[in-house]
Structure formats: structure tokens, C-alpha cells
Amino acid sequence: MQILIFNDPLSLANACADRITDLIARKPDAVLGLATGASPVGTYAELIRRYEAGKVSFRSVRTFNLDEYCDLPKADPNSYNSFMWDKLFGHVDIPAENVHIPDGNAPDLAAQCEAYDQMIRDAGGIDLQLLGIGRNGHIGFNEPADAFTKGTHIAALTESTIEANSKYFTENPMPKSAITMGVGSIFAAKSIILIATGKKKAEAIRNTVCGDISPSRCPASILQLHPDVTLLLDPEAAALLKTS
Ligand code: PGA
């Protein structure tokens, strides 16, 4: 696991954008696994800047998002579909058909989960997966549980996640479940970058880096076994690493 600590958010976003644009330069039809939440927003803004400056094109890039709420209209401002088009896709040249976001309103959710995993396999697997992390160590919506999840599935959200995200739901109540790639789907990515900032993430980062590999304590701890993981942190998120 490579751990890089940045004193300012712009340098962190730049480092992440460098990894993505280097990959696209080598492989123009790269398959990116993308995340929502606050953590990747600076990276997406930097990718838009680079696109506008003519330094990168997303014309052939294919993307798979980690997750989406269930029972929330796709066009709702809080859907992850809206988030991605607002923060990245709507500002670059990626064709809409290259964008994949799980459909949390599919009439047959089990079939949607299977189809999503199949689409990832058909694309040749994820080259680079971008992740945030929850305060409880979740990745995607893979909350602490008795076992690591495998493929895309429906997840009930925990109180901790509902509390962290409900600030965004000012009009409608926050959904209580989501469709999410599994820990197994994430682990299958060839390369993984996890971004975490702020002291609220410090414990999850300590558990990810040096805790027991435990689905109940910290789902992200499985990343210790992955051959190509980079953590991009600020000093606050990294604060508990020195003493452990
Ligand atoms: P955040 O969320 O990037 O908004 O902190 C990360 C997560 O909960 O996975």
C-alpha cells in the first residue's frame, strides 16, 4: 500500500488527476471506477480543467460508478447520477453510452446487480478504481458486516452513513438502501486510489492500513491484500498512522 500525504487539497487533487490522465494517455479507452461524495470532487474539477485545456480527452473512456441510491429518481439532485453529470460528465467529452451507474430504480434489482457485474467483466475489468471511505470504514456502500461482500448487491445503509449523508436531503427523506458494487468487485480493479481527508476519517484510515483485516471492523481493511493501492490523504486523515 502506498501512502501519500498532502498539505493542501489542490496538490492531492492534482496527484489523483495525474494518475487518471497518465492512464488515459497510455490507454485511451481505460475503464475507470468512479466514486461520489466530497472526496473526489477536487479531482473531478481538475480533470475538467485539463479537458478544457486540451490535455485529456474522455472520448473513449468507459466509467462504472460504485453505487446509487434505491428508490430515488435518477433526476433527483441527490442521486449519484445527477452528482456525476454535475461534477464531471457534463463538462467533458465522454459519450453518455460509455457512462455506467447502477440503476437503483430497476424493476428487478437482483437482475440489475448481475447485469452490472457482467458489464464490468465485458469491459475487461476496471483499470483504476477511485474510492472514498466512510467513517466506519465502508467503501462504496459496503458497510461493516460479518463477511466481505462479493459482487454488486443491494445494501441497507447504516445509521452512521445515514447520519453522514442526510445533510444533503433537505427536501425528501434519505433513502435507506442502495445498489453498490461489492468489496469483491472493488478488489478486482487492477489499481485502486483511495482519497480521505479530515480528522473524522483518521480512525478508518488507521484501521484500513494497520488494523486486522476484518469485514466487521473496517471493510476497507481488505485493501491491505491488494497489490496496487494508493492512499491519498491529508495530515488529519493520516494523524493516527504515526502512533499505531
Ligand atoms: P465523502 O464520503 O467522500 O463524502 O467523505 C465517502 C464515503 O462515505 O464513502
pLDDT in tens, 23-63: 999 999 999 999 999 999 999 999 999 999 999 999 999 99
**pLDDT value, residue 167:** 85
**pLDDT value, residue 227:** 98
Is 159 noted as a catalytic residue in this protein?
no
Q: At 118, is the pLDDT very low, low, confident or very high (cuts 50, 70, 90)?
A: very high
Three-class secondary structure of residue 159 per DSSP: helix
Asked if the model's pLDDT at residue 244 lies above 50, the reply is no
Q: What is the pLDDT of residues 3-24, one digit of tens each?
A: 999 999 999 999 999 999 999 9
Of 48, 49, 58, whose CA–CA distance to 23 is shortest? 58
Q: Give the position, in ligand 1's atom list, of the atom nearest the Cα of 131.
A: 9
Is 65 noted as a catalytic residue in this protein?
no
**pLDDT value, residue 157:** 87
Name the active-site residue from 65, 98, 136, 207. Answer: 136
Q: At 211, is the pLDDT very low, low, confident or very high (cuts 50, 70, 90)?
A: very high
Name the active-site residue from 143, 165, 207, 234. Answer: 143
Query: Is the four-CA dihedral 94, 18, 16, 54 of positive or negative sign?
Result: negative
Quote the mean pLDDT of the chain.
95
Asked if the model's pLDDT at residue 122 lies above 50, the reply is yes
The alpha carbon of 140 and the centre of ligand 1 are apart by a number of angstroms equal to 9
The alpha carbon of 165 and the centre of ligand 1 are apart by a number of angstroms equal to 9
pTM, full prediction = 0.95
Q: Give the position, in ligand 1's atom list, of the atom nearest the Cα of 39.
A: 3
Q: Ligand 1 pocket by C-beta < 6 Å: which residues? A: 37-39, 132-134, 138
153-156: strand order across its sheet: 67-69, 177-180, 153-156
Residue bearing the CA closest to ligand 1, atom 8:
134
When pLDDT is averaged across residues 73-83 and rounded to a whole number, the result is 93
When pLDDT is averaged across residues 95-114 and rounded to a whole number, the result is 96
Q: At 102, is the pLDDT very low, low, confident or very high (cuts 50, 70, 90)?
A: very high
The alpha carbon of 38 and the centre of ligand 1 are apart by a number of angstroms equal to 6
Length of the chain: 244
Strands 67-69 and 177-180: antiparallel
Q: Give the separation between CA 145 and CA 218, rounded to whole angstroms.
A: 9
**pLDDT value, residue 175:** 93
When pLDDT is averaged across residues 159-174 and rounded to a whole number, the result is 81
The alpha carbon of 208 and the centre of ligand 1 are apart by a number of angstroms equal to 15
Q: Give the position, in ligand 1's atom list, of the atom nearest the Cα of 139.
A: 9
Pocket test for ligand 1, best of 12, 34, 36, 39 (most atoms within 8 A of CB): 39
Q: Give the position, in ligand 1's atom list, of the atom nearest the Cα of 133.
A: 9
**pLDDT value, residue 208:** 98
Q: 173 Cβ partners below 8 Å, 6+ apart?
A: none
Asked if the model's pLDDT at residue 78 lies above 80, the reply is yes
- Taking every pair of C-alpha atoms in the chain, what is the biggest distance, in angstroms? 49
When pLDDT is averaged across residues 151-167 and rounded to a whole number, the result is 87
CB 138, CB 67: distance < 8 Å:
no
Q: Give the separation between CA 186 and CA 192, rounded to whole angstroms.
A: 8
Topology of domain 2-243, CATH? Rossmann fold (3.40.50)
Is 207 noted as a catalytic residue in this protein?
no
Residue type, 106: A
